């Protein structure tokens, strides 16, 4: 910013008046500031023109300081020495400035002397258009304005903070920059959109912060930023200032080709913290870029799917209870290192899918629960807003601000980190109001039904926005019921997902392979039944992490027989999955014939590859991936009845099935 030279020193004639003209209401203001209940700091703090004498009254709230003065930024002259109001931390003085001029504030305390820009001399961060779009819930990219953003206002570098808390009595900033004293920096309330904002000069990227929220319930709580782009390493939970990653472009054509309905899609599902543990420690994104990505390429997979990487306080939740939807968890490195990992995935010719959790969030006090002293992000009634199974809170999809928060988040990961798709977790729990609830413990919709109409509309809108704004990005649903049209377009009455996990196929097929071959004849339809509904949705065949946890054992251990027979059954299972219509998903370790159930605290049992039996299973998966990708008959017509035909389906006694897969070309047959 251009400095001016028209600043005048504090006039001698006014020195005596300065200390005498403490206005009666300033004692009350000092008390409100001290107690952290000042709701309109910009009406008092900073400089304000006095109508009677043309002077500017300057107020600075400086807890812990014993002297405050205003300086000329041009030459460092003292413009005025501010006077303390009673015994408070509020200092008042007078200065003569033209409207275009500005000043520095010198703070003197036991910690030393600091010259700072006065944050209360700056205008609003949110423009009128942004405020209107946020209030309407139609801001496609709310993360461009909410959260913390390094920027410059009036030529001064700092960080703009903004948080949505419409029912809060007062919100302040607390962080490393003010020794976590939230009283120092009360924020401006934008009543038209419910957002509190403040531009704080001198704060740099990497600074830790929270919002000091005085809620509508009278309780004061330090809250993490829901829109934070980076967070403190758990168990810490402060937010970290970080600039937005640059937009990732030129992915549309690659996505459209790799995620198409007729494309070969074989997904390797990964928990980043337990694939490998170098030196017994969590792997970071650099390690995974150097080791995981080449391994996935060697094994012939086309996609990597990561269990949720959003910031989450409880490691054993595997990321499915996130508190920071916009922040990659700091457990595996910085956001920049995650971006480098994504780039490595793309450079290897792979696509990346993220598990995404828009259905619920944990009850941790530092996060979104009762954010402004009210049920803001969640439904207020526990019959709607509390999930018994997971002890989590359910997003209120009826609020347009919440829909905006979530839809914007989906777009954020695709646009700013370049991920190629999302797998939406626990869709069934979103669709039904009575999901996992006893009678009289749920609230019907407006028509008296069990469907959550607000969630359905949210899902449709999310998929519509992604389709319009990120062509080619795939959205997959983990949906465990028979809800119709999950992968049908909204205009046809569907939810608009591109793919749906086929949980029925998974359950029936695993149940069959667990049985003694002597008794499989009585369950012959378990294998063939999936073809009765195979074309009702665009299916993914999942052998996911859910099938190797909670006492179920590993896929290998679930197979019938002794060690040799288990290996043979597992190879047969994989061969059937790859020959069956539907895209493929395999959780890490299954390709090794992992003996033990997945443990998130340990790496996979890589030593098993020294055993030829397990090395053979891995070789089968590698070879069958290559066959699947190179044979159009195995993927080109997954959703067309003409792509599959039974040859033998009734040989129950021998448990034999024979079928043919057909591509579009007459010669493409297997």
| Short-list 606, 632, 582, 579, CA closest to 267 | 582
Distance CA 534, CA 512 (A): 18
User: Are 170 and 214 spatial neighbours (Cβ–Cβ below 8 Å)?
Assistant: yes
The residues that are catalytic are 425, 478
10 Å CB burial of residue 666 (0-12, 13-18, 19+) is: exposed
Cis status, amide bond into 9, omega within 30 of 0: no
Contact 374, 495 (CB under 8 A): no
Are 312 and 323 in contact, with CB atoms under 8 Å apart?
Answer: yes
386 within 8 A of 394, measured Cβ to Cβ? yes
Q: Which ranges constitute the DSSP H helices of 329-421?
A: 335-347, 382-385, 400-416
As a whole number of angstroms, the distance between CA 272 and CA 600 comes to 9
Torsion of CA 527, 524, 479, 498, to 10 degrees: 30
The residues with which 49 forms a beta bridge, in sequence order, are: 56
Q: Which stretches of 515-670 are DSSP H helices?
A: 525-528, 555-558, 563-579, 612-630
- As a whole number of angstroms, the distance between CA 424 and CA 475 comes to 7
One DSSP character per residue, 447-485 reads TS-SB-HHHHHHHHHHHHHHHHHSTT-EEEE---S--TT
DSSP state of 528: H
Tokens representing residue 120 in the block: 């209360």
């Amino acid at each position: 910013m251009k400095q001016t030279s028209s600043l005048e020193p504090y006039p001698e004639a006014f020195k005596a008046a300065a200390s005498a003209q403490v206005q009666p209401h300033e004692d009350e203001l000092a008390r409100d500031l001290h107690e952290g209940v000042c709701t309109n700091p910009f009406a008092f703090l900073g400089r304000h023109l006095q109508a009677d004498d043309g002077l500017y009254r300057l107020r600075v709230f400086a807890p812990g300081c014993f002297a405050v003065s205003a300086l000329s930024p041009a030459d460092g002259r003292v413009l005025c020495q501010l006077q303390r109001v009673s015994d408070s931390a509020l200092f008042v003085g007078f200065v003569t400035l033209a409207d275009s001029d500005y000043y520095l504030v010198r703070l003197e305390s036991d910690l030393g002397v600091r010259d700072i820009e006065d944050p209360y001399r700056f205008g609003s961060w949110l423009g009128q258009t942004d405020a209107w779009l946020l209030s309407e819930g139609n801001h496609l990219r709310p993360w461009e304005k909410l959260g913390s953003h390094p920027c410059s206002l009036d030529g001064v570098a700092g960080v703009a903070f903004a948080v949505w808390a419409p029912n809060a009595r007062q919100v302040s900033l607390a962080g490393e920059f003010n020794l976590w004293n939230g009283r120092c920096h009360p924020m401006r309330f934008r009543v038209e959109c419910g957002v509190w904002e403040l531009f704080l000069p001198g704060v740099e990227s990497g600074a830790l912060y929270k919002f000091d929220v005085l809620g509508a319930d009278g309780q004061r709580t330090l809250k993490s930023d829901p829109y934070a782009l980076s967070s403190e390493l758990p168990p810490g939970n402060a937010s970290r200032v970080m600039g937005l990653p640059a937009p990732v472009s030129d992915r549309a054509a690659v996505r459209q080709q790799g995620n198409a309905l007729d494309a070969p899609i074989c997904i390797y599902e990964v928990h980043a913290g337990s694939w490998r543990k170098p030196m017994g420690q969590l792997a970071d994104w650099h390690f995974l870029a150097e080791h995981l990505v080449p391994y996935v390429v060697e094994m012939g997979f086309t996609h990597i799917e990561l269990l949720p990487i959003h910031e989450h306080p409880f490691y054993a939740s595997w990321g499915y209870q996130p508190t920071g939807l916009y922040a990659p968890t700091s457990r595996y490195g910085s956001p920049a290192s995650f971006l480098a990992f994504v780039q490595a995935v793309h450079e290897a010719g792979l696509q990346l899918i993220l598990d995404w959790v828009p259905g619920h969030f944990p009850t941790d006090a530092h996060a979104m629960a009762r954010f402004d002293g009210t049920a803001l992000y969640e439904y207020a009634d526990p019959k709607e807003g509390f999930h018994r199974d997971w002890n989590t809170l359910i997003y209120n999809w009826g609020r347009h601000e919440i829909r905006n928060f979530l839809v914007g988040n989906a777009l954020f990961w695709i646009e700013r980190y370049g991920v190629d798709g999302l797998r939406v977790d626990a869709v069934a729990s979103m669709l039904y109001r009575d999901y996992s609830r006893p009678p009289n413990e749920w609230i019907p919709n407006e028509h008296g039904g069990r469907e959550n109409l607000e969630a359905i509309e949210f899902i449709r809108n999310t998929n519509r926005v992604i389709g319009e704004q990120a062509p080619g990005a795939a959205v997959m649903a983990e949906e465990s019921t028979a809800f119709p049209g999950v992968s049908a377009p909204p205009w046809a009455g569907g939810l608009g997902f591109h793919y749906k996990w086929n949980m029925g196929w998974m359950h029936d097929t695993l149940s069959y392979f667990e049985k003694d071959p002597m008794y499989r004849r009585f369950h012959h339809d378990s294998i063939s039944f999936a073809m009765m509904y195979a074309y009702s949705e665009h299916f993914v065949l999942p052998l996911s992490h859910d099938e190797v946890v909670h006492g179920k054992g590993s896929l290998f251990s679930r197979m019938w027989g002794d060690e040799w027979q288990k290996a043979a059954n597992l190879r047969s299972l994989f061969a059937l999955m790859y020959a069956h219509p539907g895209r493929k998903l395999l959780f890490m370790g299954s390709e090794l014939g992992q003996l033990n159930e997945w443990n998130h605290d340990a790496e996979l049992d890589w030593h098993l590859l020294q055993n030829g039996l397990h090395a053979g299973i891995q070789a089968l998966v590698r070879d069958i991936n290559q066959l699947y990708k190179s044979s159009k008959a195995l993927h080109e017509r997954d959703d067309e009845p003409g792509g599959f035909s039974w040859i033998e389906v009734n040989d129950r006694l021998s448990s034999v099935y024979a079928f043919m897969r057909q591509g579009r070309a007459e010669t493409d047959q297997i």
